Structure 1
Amino acid sequence: MKQNHEILPLIEAMMQYDQRDVVPFDVPGHKHGRGTKELVDFFGEKVMRIDVNSMKCLDNIGNPVGVIKEAQQLMADAYDADHAFFLTNGTSSGVQAMIMSACQAGDKVILPRNAHKSAINALILGGITPVYVQPEMNTRLGIAMGVTVEKIKEAIALHPDAKAVFLINPTYYGAASALKDITQLCHKHDMAVLVDEAHGAHLHFHDELPMSAMEAGADMSAVSLHKTGGSLTQSSALLLKGDIIDKDRVKTILNLTTSTSASYLLMASLDGARKILATRGEKMLTDTLELSRSARAEINEIEGLYAFSTELIDAHGVYAFDETKLSINVTGIGLTGFEVYDILRDEYNIQMELGDINNVLAIISLGDTKEALCALVSALKDISVKYKKPEFDCQVKPLKNPEVVIIPRDAFYMQKKILPLADSVGEIAGEYIMAYPPGIPVLSPGERITKEIIDYIEVLKTQKSVLTDNHDPSGEFIKVLKHNNVSSIAI
């Protein structure tokens, strides 16, 4: 029987604490904002008064036994999970906890190479070996989609000793794999199924959206409620179902990296977002889908623009599609997605989620309005006339999986040297290079550098894309491994 999702245990406890007007001799040091007038003026007195630290009446995230435990149980119930853990360091911390809970040092995990950098970080932290599967590529749009059941089956056949399979549901652009079929396949081989649902926190609450990980029978998923569920930035939840993965091990792994001073503002926002999704989510998402579908139809009437959607569903990596991802291919108006992204922001005061070589992406969620979507459609119509050039045909295609020469952890700790990027073909990367958003590495430590990869990075640089995680922000130089350390650790 479903629990009562009208209640807000953590928020109510924080309200009661605030009403008591406690005299604070604990941290935080701003003392309910009295010591920081500028912050009170900016954030408001209420926020500063409820920015508190762990105390008995408010429970402790490291070992919750009170209101945090109750709020987490409600979160688990909302998603049809057995257990839920609040995350105040984003879904990145949840992804790391999933992989490190299912795998130990030396174990293998099967995953698509278009995974977020947090998955690669988990491999470094845990000493885990990646087995990459190639996601399906849409060459027209220039992006990676989902993975097929066949590709997972092939990887399992080649690596029957793998402990887990890691999936993305949905991809940044909205493509969902056949998650239920893959989960059943993995369980037949005693492999745990871990799902990055950073962009799928809303899926569970509407039947016209792709199936959620918990509904598909996955063992764990990490959901970014702050992205599509309404909570504050950096707040997420880790969901656990079944007994393949021990919940006490999950809690132990989380406590390795979670702050002992987790933000109560972020945790309270998870409590509130859960109530909204569980009690009003279906109606709100119906309205959200209607807005997205209407805008998509109008955009597809603009010559040169293509807002792709459910027509991509086929047997090749797109089993379902999340229509709240309003992805628009702009090559038909002769511009790159990077250019359209900048024009929308600088000239129309419209902030898109991302631009890539061929596309721009708008996330349509619970807080969007008809007026906002009308402004976007109007701006795109204007841009298609004012800026149109001959159709853009990028010669750089989506990258295929690079060769993993050294496992990420070993490569991370090995000695390195610095070379010009242009002279690094054949070398082994000693650091990440990626564009953010979306935070998917173009190169990770331990991977062979090819001319195709360098060409791709050069295109990112010419488009003034924000390169992150590499030591040289300009992308002119790269850290590579010293060759005399490589041969004995190759996999």
Structure 2
Amino acid sequence: MLLDQNRTPLFEAVKYHVKRNAVPLQIPGHKHGHGLSEYRDFVGENVLRMDLNQTRGIDLIWDPTRVILESEALMAEAFGAADAYFLINGTTSGVQTMIMSACKPGAQIIVPRNAHKSIFNGLILSGAEPVYVQPEIDQDLGIVLGITESNLASAIQKNPRASAVLTINPSYYGIAGHLNQIVEVAHQHGMPVLVDEAHGTHMHFHHGFPVSAMQAGADMSAASLHKTGGSMTQSSVLLLNKSDYFNASYVRKVLNLTYSSSPSYVLLCSMDVARKQLATRGEEILGHLLDMLSWAREEINGIEGLFAPTCQYFANNGPFYLDETKLLVNVHQLGLTGYEVEELLARDYNILIELADMYNILAITGLGEQRKYLEAFIHALADIARHAQGRKINKIQSIQFNPVVTMPPREAFYRNKKPVALEQSAGEVSGEMIMVYPPGIPLVSMGEIITSDIIDYIKKLKEEKCTLQGTADPKVEYVMVIE
């Protein structure tokens, strides 16, 4: 029997409690905002009244039996999953739970080399050892695309003791591979498939997107409901499919290892309402958004020096799929870097975008998108293009990461380290991650050998004032290496 997706059990319970106006002789200590009046005056009293902690009549997230359990069941059904678990520490905690559920210490897990740092942190927590699959790269745009089923099959053949596959759907740039085939290849070899779906929550709710993890038959996925599903920042969901590889109660136990004992009901309620909206109106809202974005791409592609790739571009150059809510614009022909365009947009037009790299900018659109936002963006790009100097920018070819892993990330994390000048670090084993953030993909991860190619690449990125993170030295003049 289908559940009523118009219901919001948790949100209704919290609203009832707020209306009760009970005497709050319990934590939190701000007592309905009376102890935080400046903040309350700005955000409103209801938000502070919803800030509850293990209140009678409202469920416990780590062992739900009432309204949270009901709301999680509604979430699972909305996504076509067997079980759903609310996350209040972002998709990071979901990714880590997936890895720890699938891998015991010392087990191998196949992951794409363009993985987010949360995956590498999951390897440290679990003690799993990575087997990397090299993603395809579009050198014209200067972006990483994704892995192919043939590359995955080769990695499985070379590493028969690997116990799981983790993949990304879609990437930060909105690029998705053939997830159906990737799942099929892994399952043929008796391996569960875990999906980092941080940027793909919405894809399940409209036919015009790449296939979602649950639709493709993946065993588990972690989705950032806050990124593209409409809930508040830090709220995500872990989804478990009908799977031969995982037990729902065990996954809950693993998740409880990192759960907070003081979850935010403000965040949890936002997920309850966001799920209702996606399930009941997602097709309508997302269809309208896709129509607007089709128009926006056409307008941008009419501006000399700019290129906003479409689904057809990636189908012809991969083939890969594109989540069109990620509005990627290549600016290289303007003679400006993506970083320079990002700065101009913020400084001169009061427009904030999601990401910039050497050659592109990325605007992420969403359920609440307004045509006036896109009009302002297009107008600003046209103005920037008119005044561009047209200087020549030497393209930095994206390097293929073929890391030499000398020890598992967990071992490297706990080993003694010493600082070495970046220029002199070739041949050393890195004791930290060095990444461009966003998107948070390591150029080198701990336990891997630093090569001269990586050093040269980092130096070029520094020259272009890219934001590098993960190192103890924020200027990346020195790196920590294993003693």
Q: TM-score, normalised by structure 2?
A: 0.98
Correspondence for 2:350: 349
Correspondence for 1:377: 378
- Is 1:295 matched with 2:296? yes
Correspondence for 2:144: 144
Correspondence for 1:436: 437
The number of residues matched between the two structures is 482
| Distance in 1 (alpha carbons) for counterparts of 2:132 and 2:139 | 20
Contact 1:139 1:398 in 2 (8 A): no
- Is 1:340 matched with 2:349? no
| Distance in 2 (alpha carbons) for counterparts of 1:462 and 1:342 | 16
Correspondence for 1:179: 179
Contact 2:230 2:274 in 1 (8 A): yes
| Distance in 1 (alpha carbons) for counterparts of 2:14 and 2:319 | 44
Using the TM superposition, give the Cα deviation of residue 315 of structure 1 relative to its aligned residue in structure 2, in angstroms: 7.8
Q: Check 1:4–1:138 CA distance in 2 against 1; reply closer, same or farther (3 A cut).
A: same
Residues 230-267 of structure 1: per-residue CA shift (max 9 Å, x gap): 00000000000123111112111111111010111111
Contact 1:333 1:392 in 2 (8 A): no
| Distance in 2 (alpha carbons) for counterparts of 1:397 and 1:24 | 57
| Distance in 1 (alpha carbons) for counterparts of 2:287 and 2:349 | 28
Correspondence for 1:486: none
Using the TM superposition, give the Cα deviation of residue 303 of structure 1 relative to its aligned residue in structure 2, in angstroms: 1.1
**Can you give the 5+ residue segments of structure 2 that lack an aligned partner in the other structure?**
none
Equivalent position SS for 1:56: coil
Correspondence for 1:485: none
- After the TM superposition, which residues 179-198 of structure 1 pair with which residues of structure 2 at under 5 Å, given as runs? 179-198=179-198
Using the TM superposition, give the Cα deviation of residue 441 of structure 1 relative to its aligned residue in structure 2, in angstroms: 1.3
Contact 2:139 2:397 in 1 (8 A): no
Using the TM superposition, give the Cα deviation of residue 401 of structure 1 relative to its aligned residue in structure 2, in angstroms: 3.1
Using the TM superposition, give the Cα deviation of residue 465 of structure 1 relative to its aligned residue in structure 2, in angstroms: 2.8
- After the TM superposition, which residues 11-410 of structure 1 pair with which residues of structure 2 at under 5 Å, given as runs? 11-243=11-243, 244-314=245-315, 317-410=318-411
Using the TM superposition, give the Cα deviation of residue 208 of structure 1 relative to its aligned residue in structure 2, in angstroms: 0.8
C-alpha RMSD of the superposition: 1.3
Using the TM superposition, give the Cα deviation of residue 305 of structure 1 relative to its aligned residue in structure 2, in angstroms: 0.9
Structure 2 counterpart of 1:45, one-letter code? E
Contact 1:123 1:408 in 2 (8 A): yes
Residues 403-452 of structure 1: per-residue CA shift (max 9 Å, x gap): 22211111111111101111111111100111221111122101111122
- Of the structure 1 ranges 95-104 and 391-400, higher mean CA displacement relative to structure 2 is found in 391-400
Residues 296-352 of structure 1: per-residue CA shift (max 9 Å, x gap): 111111111111121233487543211111111111111111111111111111101
| Distance in 2 (alpha carbons) for counterparts of 1:56 and 1:318 | 53
Using the TM superposition, give the Cα deviation of residue 463 of structure 1 relative to its aligned residue in structure 2, in angstroms: 3.0
| Distance in 1 (alpha carbons) for counterparts of 2:279 and 2:240 | 18
Residues 156-196 of structure 1: per-residue CA shift (max 9 Å, x gap): 11112111100100111111111011101111111000001
Contact 1:399 1:452 in 2 (8 A): no
Contact 1:399 1:453 in 2 (8 A): no
Contact 1:471 1:478 in 2 (8 A): yes
| Distance in 2 (alpha carbons) for counterparts of 1:217 and 1:416 | 42
| Distance in 2 (alpha carbons) for counterparts of 1:62 and 1:105 | 24
Residues 32-86 of structure 1: per-residue CA shift (max 9 Å, x gap): 1111111111221111111111123110011000111111000000000000000
| Distance in 2 (alpha carbons) for counterparts of 1:118 and 1:424 | 25
| Distance in 2 (alpha carbons) for counterparts of 1:158 and 1:15 | 55
Structure 2 counterpart of 1:102, one-letter code? A
Residues 186-235 of structure 1: per-residue CA shift (max 9 Å, x gap): 11111000001100000000001000000000000001010001000000
Structure 2 counterpart of 1:473, one-letter code? P
Residues 382-417 of structure 1: per-residue CA shift (max 9 Å, x gap): 111212323423234244232222111111111111
Contact 1:146 1:318 in 2 (8 A): no
**Can you give the 5+ residue segments of structure 1 that lack an aligned partner in the other structure?**
483-491
Q: Check 1:38–1:108 CA distance in 2 against 1; reply closer, same or farther (3 A cut).
A: same
Correspondence for 2:7: 7
